[in-house]
Amino acid sequence: MPGRSTEARSPTDAELRQTAVLELPIDTASAKRRTDGPIEDPDDLALPIWAGVAPLTITAGEPIADSDVLDGVDIPASLTPYTRL
């Protein structure tokens, strides 16, 4: 979340020791994408097996505050692009 680090407290030394950050270069990547349903082998069409597409989406939901957040503390500005207020 851009800007979030300026709104949150700095991590403690213990938290930093417990956190691993890994950076890897991506030289090659591939993805499979289809715009229609699956292409079935004609022999498979007679089988009692479900075939289809399970669409996946990524959407941001409403932020849920921790139960320990003090009353009156608003959602920070860094999260507002991801809210549906």
Q: Is residue 48 part of a domain?
A: no
Read off the pLDDT of residues 49-78 as tens digits, 9 standing for 90 and up. Answer: 888 887 888 887 888 899 999 999 998 888
Confidence of residue 83 (pLDDT cuts 50, 70, 90): low
Q: In terms of Cα–Cα distance, which of 68, 65, 67, 84 is closest to 76?
A: 65
Q: Is residue 83 part of a domain?
A: yes
Q: Is residue 10 part of a domain?
A: no
What residue numbers bound the domain in which 62 lies? 56-85
Q: Is residue 34 part of a domain?
A: no
Q: Is residue 6 part of a domain?
A: no
pLDDT over 70 at 84, yes or no = no
Q: Is residue 78 part of a domain?
A: yes
Top pLDDT among 56 and 16 is at: 16
When divided into structural domains, the chain yields a total of 1
Rounded to whole angstroms, how far apart are CA atoms 57 and 55?
A: 7
Task: Please give the model's pTM, rounded to 2 decimal places.
Answer: 0.40
Q: Is residue 21 part of a domain?
A: no
Q: Is residue 71 part of a domain?
A: yes
pLDDT given at position 68: 94
Longest dimension (CA), the chain: 63
